[in-house]
Structure 1
Amino acid sequence: MKTKITVLMLFCFFNITVFAQEKTKKELKAERELQKQKAIEDLINSKNFVFEAQKAQPLGSRLINLDYNTYFLNFNTTKTTCDLPFFGRAYYVPYGGDGGMKFEGVPENIQIEKKKKSYNINATVKGKDDVYSLYFSVFPDGGATLSINSNNKVAISYQGVVSAPKKDESKK
């Protein structure tokens, strides 16, 4: 009888120690959130990320849902490429222009400011026909807002997500 009680006590002891080592769902979720925050912080500090727009907010108008994975701003210190739709008033559009916020250029005056719950990034990009001021607010979960001011168009804001740039298959 004593051996049965001893075996039972040992069995309980080992089960308790095994269960004590497993992490709870809250702990696992907190770890994933910390990893995501670290990844976003690394992207911002590298100044190399992609903003994918999900919604557009023209100045003085309603929120417009956009198609996912279609509109983007690829931010890089050597070349920034933007292909975002534009809704609003344009003061000057070159003949044959395709509308939208479409430009390429080298960002200048890049400023990154870490706030309590976000990162603010300001930059200026000189495109072919205009100068664009970019204002990002990036949150720890990867969500972001982007406001673009230009000389020839009214300001517009976008909501979306920030992610790492995709690797080109041709570089392999």
Structure 2
Amino acid sequence: MKKFLLIAFTMVFLTSMSYAQDNSVKKELRKEKADAAYNYTKDLIISGDYVFEANRAYPLGTQSVTLTTRPNQIRINGKEADISLPYFGAVRSGGGFNHTNGIQFKGEVRNYEVEYRDDKRKAIIRFDVANDTETHRFFITAGKAGDTRVIVSSSARNSISYYGILGAPDKASR
């Protein structure tokens, strides 16, 4: 009986050791995969040529809106931006019928800054754009796999957030 208990105890011990090693290997693989995904996103931002495509918009104080059927993107190429985002929310100040339905901009950005938080696998991008009627401040947080949140503050509208993916520009659209 003692021999049986000793064999059973040994089997349980060896099985638990094997399980612990499997978990540590899986954990290390997940970490390596997350690091590689973050490094890809970071390299895109460093290159200065990337695109954000939103799949959801979160207007201030209301429900989210799916954007899969609406054209929307932020294209950064150096210090130039081509922005076309739908807007859902309230206009706070004048402009009347002169406001566009969305956030539209094409030209040079101002105050472009990038901060990398490698310990959290995040990159934070900030910049401003201005047209004749308003100024927009963009605050972009890109995560390890390109998962990205964009907050847009405006001088004439309520803030709005977008969630989507940051990635490489489509070679065909150049």
- Normalising by structure 2, we get a TM-score of 0.73
Give yes or no for contact 1:123–1:135 (8 Å, CA) kept in 2. Answer: yes
CA contact (8 A) 1:77 1:107 kept: no
Q: How does 1:62-77 map to 2 (within 5 A)?
A: 62-67=63-68, 70-77=71-78
1:9 is matched with none
Residue 137 of structure 2 is aligned to residue 137 of structure 1: no
Q: 1:129 to 1:104 in 2, by over 3 A?
A: farther
2:79–2:112 contact (8 Å) kept in structure 1: no
Residue identity over aligned pairs, in percent, reads 27
CA contact (8 A) 2:136 2:153 kept: yes
Judged with a 3 Å threshold, the aligned counterparts in structure 2 of structure 1 residues 141 and 163 are, in CA distance, closer, same or farther, namely same
Question: In the alignment, residue 126 of structure 2 is paired with which amino acid?
Answer: N
- Equivalent-residue separation in structure 2 for 1:52 and 1:107 (angstroms): 18
C-alpha RMSD of matched pairs (Å): 2.5
Q: 1:168, 1:94 → 2: CA distance?
A: 37
SS at match of 1:95: helix
Q: How far did residue 51 of structure 1 move? A: 0.4
Q: In structure 1, what is the Cα distance between the partners aligned to 2:34 and 2:148?
A: 16
Aligned to 2:166: 162
Q: In the alignment, is residue 47 of structure 1 matched against residue 48 of structure 2?
A: yes
Q: Does 1:147 align with 2:148?
A: no
Amino acid aligned to 2:42: E
> Going by fraction, where is helix more abundant, 1 or 2?
2
Residue 106 of structure 1 aligns with which residue? 108
Structure 2 gap ranges (5+): 1-24
| 8 A contact 1:143–1:161 mirrored in 2 | yes
Q: Normalising by the residue count of structure 1, what TM-score does the alignment of the two structures yield?
A: 0.74
How far does residue 76 in structure 1 lie from its aligned partner after superposition? 2.4
Q: Specify every segment of 5 or more residues in structure 1 that has no aligned partner in the other structure, as ranges.
A: 1-23
> Does the Cα contact within 8 Å between 1:133 and 1:150 map onto a contact in 2?
yes
Q: Is the 8 A contact 1:104 1:127 kept in 2?
A: no
1:55 shift after superposition: 0.5
Task: State the number of aligned residues.
Answer: 147
Do the aligned partners of 1:56 and 1:64 also contact (CA within 8 Å) in 2?
Answer: yes
> 2:58 matched to 1:57?
yes
For the 8 Å contact 1:81–1:103, the answer to whether it is kept is: yes
